[in-house]
Structure 1
């Protein structure tokens, strides 16, 4: 049985590249902040992993996957990594605004 609490948000995908290797392909993320981040933090009390990560089930469009979200110091919220296979399947990329459903 699924005991997850679900959250839906819309955010823009952004690209992070390591400063030491600007030619690297980098990682795609979206930021979870504000009230949604606070509610996720509450829902995950006692269930955080290393670095404050939280395991989630994620869905964008028809694509579902499991991953973790990680605390983001700048926003006070979290960042969600968006895998290449998800971006390809949904035809999305850097700068696109997407709606994501997260099960915590």
Structure 2
């Protein structure tokens, strides 16, 4: 399964601060169908993410009935991404 969407980079300042992009509702609904086949627990969905010229593996985090994509600091640096930027992400879920 492959998805592409754009979203704004936001920060969560919890116990482990991180930057994320929310998955839009339509794409999140598609991911819900795939989640049952690929999750390894807690609703986490393993994916390969592409942003610009950078690709990495991570897991989508379930949040508020949808998902968020964590953006690694190394990826943000490599692609020049800052808090509040709108970025286009490509997700691949191996089914």
Which TM-score applies when normalising by structure 1?
Answer: 0.83
Query: Considering only CA atoms, is the larger Rg found in Structure 1 or Structure 2?
Result: 1
The aligned counterpart of 2:49 is: 58
> Which segments of 5 or more consecutive residues in structure 1 lack a partner in the other structure?
none
Superposed CA offset, 1:66-101 (max 9, x none): 00001102xx21011000000000000110000000
Report how many aligned residue pairs link the two structures.
93
Moved runs in structure 1, 4+ residues, more than 2 A?
A: 43-46
Structure 2 gaps of 5+ residues are none
Q: Return the offset for 1:27.
A: 0.6
> 5 Å matches for 1:8-27?
8-18=4-14, 26-27=17-18
- Whether the aligned pair in 1 keeps the contact of 2:5 and 2:24 (CA below 8 Å) is no
Describe how 1:26-65 pairs up with structure 2 within 5 A: 26-65=17-56
Q: Which has the higher strand share?
A: 2
Structure 1 CA distance, aligned partners of 2:35 and 2:90? 16
Q: Distance in 2 between matches of 1:92 and 1:46?
A: 32
Is 1:101 aligned to 2:90, yes or no? yes
